[in-house]
Structures are given as structure tokens and as C-alpha cells.
Amino acid sequence: MNNRNAKDPFTRELEQVRKSNKQAVRPAQHSGTEETEIESLALPEADPWPILGADAYHGVFGEYARLVEPETEADVCAVLLQSLVLFGNCVGREPFFMVGATRHYANLFVAVVGKTSAKKGTALDLSRHLFAEAEPEWYSLALRSGLSSGEGLIQCVADAGADEPSRDKRAMIIETEFGRTLTAKGRDGNTLSAVLRDAWDGRDLACLTREQLRATAPHVSVIAHITPAELAERFSRVDMANGFANRFLWPVIRRARKIPSGGRVPDIARLREKVADAVATARRIGEVRRDDAAEKLWAEVYDELEAEGRDDIHAEVTARAAAQCLRLSMIYALADGYGQVSPIHLRAALAAWNFCDHSARRLFAGKSKPTLANRIHAFLVQAGNNGMTRTEIHVAFHRNEKAEALLAALSNLKDDGRARNEPVLRGSRSIEVWYAVTTNERIERITMPQSDIQKPSSLNSSIRGESGTNPEPPEERAAIQG
């Protein structure tokens, strides 16, 4: 008997579910204690949107962020953080902070995460605008893009040949399509991940396959832009575990407001002069230390920064909290023209880190099982315009996944912009149906807040304490009741 056209049990069951459209096919187990129909459960709420504490707006870059805020649609959190990264690269390797035998320099890596309409590029343009005339020589020579291989990065800061003049070893890498970099990095034989990790550490860079390619004393900083969906699709579990991810700061941003005319950048000649003076001073400072008061504050927060015991992706991507705060505090001090970190600089650094930590929690926490969301997305892609109900998704996994896990994965997919849900009339009943949103047809649904993003008046010194939250743009999250 020819069974080539016979349908497998799953396909037959799924077709039966669609035909009958009944929610009582077999109820899912909820918390292992009671049977609850999956269609009637509410989706988990998304984590509160992180906010940048007031202490982070210290100094010239905080002043600049507040100055341009009313005149831009961009999130000034990104303006501030990217300005700190640019400044840290501009000052080079002359200022440093010693931790035991390890030198920390002012180079930072930041990956700004936001939807296509989040105005990531607008925020970067504002940050660059501050430096274009403040440090024109560095601006014209150090800013690079096209990061795709370890050899290419080494070439940017390679040692000069015997008959060549000395080279500037500062490289400010700007990748506004970081998804492409992640794809290239994942290819067999690509050394970019290892080279970037060494570059963040300030180590000499070399290529074993090309003996003459070597970079001593490099000073590499990175600003990268990526959407949540690309991050979910292209960031590997290895990246999160091997130290690549935790060398980056991961701020999430969104469009702050709508300005039909686009806004106008105020006169910033005075701020540019302050930046130029701070750069010149920083390059003469050498070793940076904490003063006694800052040392006392550091001792109070250090245990929390170095907290252990968590075993999830969020813990892995924030494992260098102390080192990141140290570098941020040094940059804040240098921007003030000081060679000592005072409590005000450390509190500014803690506020900036707190924002990035909360952002990373929003992006990565609870995603210890990333394959579930990807498998659901694959089913939704296959379903196409028909979409899938919760019950049909449950059936697709042969009911082996708990309702809570499926709903958490669906919530993550929706939050990342990879899936959408809407009520659909099937027969005489309205039921929630899920659809895949592919990379080429991202649906941008950002409802703007009615007022400007609020800033808290203070921030607890505890780095992981809640400093307040901004409500997310409202979204429909009502589950279809049976």
C-alpha cells in the first residue's frame, strides 16, 4: 500500500484543530497544578522600560544631551552614551586606571538596540556633531566602519613599516548595521570575536596567518546599532558565554517624540571648546585614581557589581559590571578635566551602568531557552497568512511545552518585533491569531508617550536598585477569552 500521501499524526491533528476551532482540544498544564486552557491565559507583561538616572547627566556630555533633547526625536540616552564612547576613544591610551597588574583604558564598546524607527542614527549624528569641530583631526582619521574580520580590524591599527611614519593607534569603529558584523563573525575561520575581545582589553593584536600584521598598543572603541529582532536572530549562545557580549554595553532606546520640522541643534561652540580642553588635559594625565571618598563608595557597591550565583544569559552579558563602571567613571572624571575619580563621577558611572544593566535584563533575562522562540517563529513563518492560534502552536509541539513557556516565548517574539497577534473572526468566534513578522517586513508599532520621558530626581547608590521606570507605549495585550 502506497502511504506517500498519508499525513502524519501532527498534520492531521492540526487540521482537525483548525476545522473545529475549539479551545478544549486538550488543556495545557499550568504550573503543574491545574489544567488551564492556553487560549485564556494572559501574556506575560514586558519588563518596565529602563530609564537613565539623573546622575548620569553629569558634566559636558550630560549638559549637551539636555540641551538637544527638546530639539530631537532621538533618545538622548543614546546621545549621551555614544558621546562618552567617542570621548573615551579620542583621549587615547595616555590616561589609564590600574587594577592590580591590569591597565584599563578609556575605550568602551556599546551596542545600541532599538527598532528601525528608534532614531539610532539621529542620536549618533548628534554625538558626532559635538566632536566634528572639537577634535577635527581625530574625527577625520579615527572613525572607521566595515567591521567584518579580525585581520581587517588589526589592519586599522597596524604598526607602521620600517620606512613609514608612526601611525595613530586610535580606531573608533562605527557599525550601524551590526547584524551584518555578527553574521560575518560567525563564519568558519573568522577571528573577529577573539580580536575584538583582545582590543577591549587593550592587548597587542596579531594575526598568526600573516606574520607581518601586528598592532601594538591599539586603542579601539566600538559603537554598534542593531534591532531587537536582528539581535535575537544573529547573536549566538557562544557570544554570550565567551566574553564577547559582556565587553559591550547594551542600552535599549526608542523614539522620544515626534517633531515634524526635525528640530534645530542649538549653538554648541562653548561645549565644543570644553570637549577640546578636556581631551587635551586627559592626554597629559597618565594614571587615574579614585579619591578617598570615591574609594569608600566603590567598596560599598563592589560586592553587588561582582555578584555571583545567577546562571542565565543576563548574568553572562553583564559579568564585567565592575570593569565597565570603572571605565565609565574614569571617562566622566577625564571629561571634567580631572585625574581623580570623585563620588560624583562614580555615581554618574553607576547610573549609566544601571540603565545598561536594566536594558540587558529586558533583552536577555529569562531567555535561557532561546531555541523555543526561534522554533515558534519557524512554525509561524510556515503558517504564513493563515497564522496560528495558541492551541495550534501548542499542538505543533505535541503539547510537550508548558503553556507558561510558550506564552513567555510569544511575548518575547512580540517584544522583539518578530511576531504580532490580533483577534480574527473564525466562524462565529473571535480568537487570537499569531503571525510571523519577517526581517524584510518588520512592523513598527511605536505609540509615543504623551509627554517627554521623565528623569528621576535621584538614583539610589545601589546599582541594581530600581530607580523608577517609564511606562512602555501601550500595546494591546488582552488575551481572547473562551
Angle of helix 120-132 relative to helix 59-68, nearest 10 degrees, comes to: 120
With a cut of 70, say whether residue 144 has pLDDT above it: yes
416 or 268, higher pLDDT? 268
Q: Report the range of poorest mean pLDDT among 16-20, 68-72, 142-146, 222-226.
A: 16-20
Whether the pLDDT of residue 394 is over 70: the answer is: yes
Domains of the chain, residue spans: 22-46+368-441, 54-364
CATH architecture for the domain at 54-364: 3-Layer(aba) Sandwich (3.40)
Rounded to whole angstroms, the Cα distance separating 193 from 305 reads 25
Mean pLDDT of 121-134: 94
Contact criterion met (CB below 8 Å) for 191 and 59: no
140 has pLDDT over 70: yes
User: Which pLDDT belongs to residue 443?
Assistant: 35
Higher pLDDT, 413 or 125: 125
Q: Reply yes or no on whether the pLDDT at 28 is more than 80.
A: no
Identify any residues that bridge with 425 across adjacent strands, giving them in sequence order: 430
Amino acid 17: pLDDT: 61
Residue 371 has pLDDT above 70, yes or no: no
Tens-digit pLDDT profile for residues 43-88: 777 678 999 999 999 999 999 999 999 999 999 999 999 999 999 9
How confident is the model over 259-279, as pLDDT tens digits? 998 888 889 999 999 999 999
φ, ψ (nearest 5 deg) of residue 434: -105, 140
pLDDT at position 19 is 62
C-alpha cell at 257: 517624540
Nearest to 114 by CA among 411, 371, 416, 349: 416
pLDDT value for 8: 59
CB distance 145 to 174 below 8 Å? yes
Q: What is the chain's mean pLDDT, rounded? A: 82
22-46+368-441 and 54-364, same CATH topology: no
User: Taking residues 174-202, what's their average pLDDT?
Assistant: 91
Q: What are phi and psi of 175, to 5 degrees?
A: -120, 100
Predicted TM-score (pTM) of the model is 0.73
Q: Which residues of 209-235 are buried (b: 16+ CB within 10 A; e: fewer)?
A: eeeebebeebbbbbbbbbbbbbbbbbb
Q: Does residue 479 carry a pLDDT above 50? A: no
- How far is 309 from 439, CA to CA, in rounded Å? 36
pLDDT of 4 above 90: no
pLDDT recorded at residue 190: 87
State pLDDT tens for residues 243-252.
899 999 999 9
Q: Cα Rg for the chain, rounded, in angstroms?
A: 25
Nearest Cα neighbor of 417 from 122, 118, 121, 39 is 118
Least confident range of 214-218, 233-237, 445-449, 478-482 = 478-482
For the segment 97-123, the average pLDDT, to the nearest whole number, is: 95
DSSP lists the bridge partners of residue 207 as: 210
- Label residue 312 exposed, middle or buried (CB < 10 Å: 0-12, 13-18, 19+): middle
pLDDT computed for residue 438 by the predictor = 60
| CATH no. of 22-46+368-441 | 1.10.10.10
* pLDDT-wise least confident of 1-15, 169-183, 405-419, 438-452: 438-452
Q: How far apart, in whole angstroms, are the C-alpha atoms of residue 392 and residue 23?
A: 10
Q: What is the 3-state secondary structure (H, E, C) of the chain?
A: CCCCCCCCHHHHHHHHHHHHCCCCCCCEEECCCEEECHHHCCCCCCCCECCCCHHHHCHHHHHHHHHHHHHCCCCHHHHHHHHHHHHHHHCCCCCEEEECCEEECCCCEEEEECCHHHCHHHHHHHHHHHHHCCCHHHHHHHEECCCCCHHHHHHHCCCCCCCCCCCCCEEEEEECCHHHHHHHHCCCCCCHHHHHHHHHHCCCEEECCEEEEEECCCEEEEEEEECHHHHHHHCCHHHHHCCCHHHEECCECCCCCCCCCCCCCCCCHHHHHHHHHHHHHHCCCCEEEECHHHHHHHHHHHHHHCCCCCCCHHHHHCCCHHHHHHHHHHHHHHHCCCCEECHHHHHHHHHHHHHHHHHHHHHHCCCCCHHHHHHHHHHHHHHHHHCEEHHHHHHHCCCCCCHHHHHHHHHHHHHCCCEEEEEEEECCEEEEEEEECCHHHCCCCCCCCCCCCCCCCCCCCCCCCCCCCECCCCCCCCCCCC
